[in-house]
Structure 1
């Protein structure tokens, strides 16, 4: 009888031990009976899509550096509601198919709770059906095609939309500031480029601006000489370039052809790489930007200095948006409180987040993107300066 009793007690003790091990808290674990937070919370993995190689590599590297800066700061402060964040960065090469293949890998990985990126609107739009089916957020720092965010409840962007920036470019830089009349336009033939051009042309027509010649090119084009010859033959008074990565090459090839004409651009923002690659050829360039690193702002300057020390180049708004995206996801995780953190809760909480980031106030529209205002910036003596502030479009 004693042996039987001892055997029963041993079995009960083993069952209790197994039960105790199985109840170790993890992501979404209920709080303890006393209301305290779970003893342990696992790391939350975020997938990152960025063009680390190719024409837009400057922007992809900026994504990687800025996002890791945000993760390091969040984790050093105890994580997002106790959850540590971890980045899984993959090189999309600026290619839509590559981006979609990688997005599918992230979607199929249950440990990845949200996707940050990609850089181009075209890649993000190609990924939209994938993230929609998987029910995982794709939060892009830079996609600005107005059709992108509305493609899925899981698609978000914080750059602002081309149906806001492109009309500003036509109305306030070209018409009001420059007094341009006859335009030569060269743009990248991509989803972003076509959206940019279409929204620009609508406003140009309203402003009475004449597009005397329009040419386009495909991703990774290197030789623009024939397009420049065609533009020059139309005798415009101003050139408009719509792209990100190829802008320095186009500017340099225009200048090396001996053509002295005012040049404007929509897309690259205040890219330091553009100045580095163009040198004196960039002097007088005018462009739009929703953000500028104000040297009088100590916090912004400290952020910029840290970025430069880690990236080795000056930031544009693009890495600043990437930094803000990580913090937006962290806020969405925090909003779950003691409840379970899932892909769906991150999506639902993200849609309601209001935050002041490095790039200013962020509040999503119903479609999942935001509305921004724009500055007119230019290159003077090898540096970017603000030519007209946000109030210029209100006068």
Structure 2
């Protein structure tokens, strides 16, 4: 399903934007595209991206916009379809005169849309695509998210330093979701081997698999101490419940794919003791707590009552808007249609070497492949709530 909407501020109930001063109220807007996921298989982790972008835009516009010009967000729901992400990039660049694009959301979408953005000369900054290597061959493709393999490696390091038994592992994954498949068949095995953790052949299931008992039985026969999951939150919930039903008492672990604090209720008591890694911790400081309050309030107004604590991709979407403001001011963009091609390139160049501070971290930098270096937070589900188990500082950039 595809949806297209044009908004000055947030939709779905965001409070009216405060009155703007004469300068911002009388000048041309700076258009930014938002490639979002509000339907399809990735709806659960992706639907609140829009909320976070709208909050940031409202705040920035109330404070004077970018170089005195308000931001206007053009939105496109891909329905979790990578082909639609490519269509969105073309629409934003050719029809909307967008300066840059927030998104695409997923690794599968980014793999298709990044080459399109490169040909059109427009920056895309993904808030969730975490497959390693996605940006390496492009100059207009950026990510404010952390590498999936790096984050899972941090989790395994934490198991060791915290004394969690993990000498025998098994891997389960959703085969028809791109990043779950790649993570389970490529990154998990390599990282487990590097730490001398034994494991068998990864066991797969599909999005629409209702009964995962056969797959879990296969895993249980190998007597693992930990089960490494690569799945979306709903898929992880099915596996968790069946693992506990069949008597598994070890730890279920996973990388960022299903690190959604709002999935605790979905997991139920079977999620107790699960360890996952995320690039954002909502209770880290005053700024993250203030953002979380706004997030919960705005989602409640929109009817997203289960979205009370930001997913890392939510926080990253919020920060991308502020990152774009900083780069836009550095590049002195105007949003004028006659200058848009040159300003898109100047905007890309302004991102190089940038140091950015937001709710995701302080002095965030981008590596040579244009991937952000972000912290890692190891989260334990304890008493059916998220609890900080361990943390890792962001790596430095060369």
Q: CA deviation at 1:150?
A: 1.0
Q: Per the alignment, do residues 278 and 306 of structure 1 end up closer, same or farther by CA in structure 2, a change over 3 Å counting?
A: same
In structure 2, the partner of 1:248 is 237
**Residue 297 of structure 2 corresponds to residue 309 of structure 1:** yes
Output aligned runs, 1:105-124, within 5 Å.
105-124=91-110
**Offset of 1:173 from its aligned partner?**
2.6
Shift of 1:114: 1.2
Higher mean alpha-carbon deviation, 161-170 vs 273-282, is at 161-170
2:183 corresponds to 1:196: yes
Q: Assess if the C-alpha contact under 8 Å between 2:118 and 2:140 holds in 1.
A: yes
1:187-210 CA distance string (max 9 Å, x none)? 233442344232232221121101
Q: Summarize deviations over 1:111-160 as a string: whole Å, max 9, x none.
A: 22211112211111111111111111110011111211113101000111
Aligned-residue RMSD, C-alpha:
2.5
> What runs of 5+ residues in structure 1 fail to find an aligned partner?
1-36
Name the residue aligned to 2:53: 67
- How many residues align structurally? 355
Larger Rg: 1
Aligned residue for 1:377, secondary structure, equals strand
| Secondary structure of residue in 1 paired with 2:331 | coil
**Corresponding residue SS for 2:47:** helix
- 2:387 maps to which residue? 385
Find out whether 1:286 has 2:275 as its counterpart: yes
Aligned with residue 118 of structure 2, among 93, 110, 132: 132
Q: Please tell me whether the aligned partners of residues 241 and 247 of structure 1 are also in contact (alpha carbons under 8 angstroms).
A: yes
1:9 aligns with: none
Counterpart of 1:150 in 2: which secondary structure? coil
Cα drift, residue 106 of structure 1:
2.3
Cα deviation, residue 218, structure 1: 4.3
SS of match in other structure, 1:86? strand
TM-score under structure 1 length normalisation: 0.82
1:249 shift after superposition: 2.7
Deviation at 1:258, TM superposition (A): 4.9
Is the alpha carbon distance of 1:370 and 1:38 closer, same or farther for their aligned partners in structure 2, counting shifts above 3 Å?
closer
**SS where residue 166 of structure 1 aligns?**
helix
CA distance, structure 1, for counterparts of residue 322 and residue 149 of structure 2? 26
Unaligned runs of 5+ in 2: 1-22, 300-304
**Displacement of 1:227:** 1.9
Q: Distance in 2 between matches of 1:172 and 1:260?
A: 19
Give the deviation of 1:172 after TM superposition.
2.8
* CA deviations over 1:215-241 (Å, ceiling 9, x no partner): 234455544333222222222222110
SS in structure 1 of the partner of residue 353 of structure 2: coil
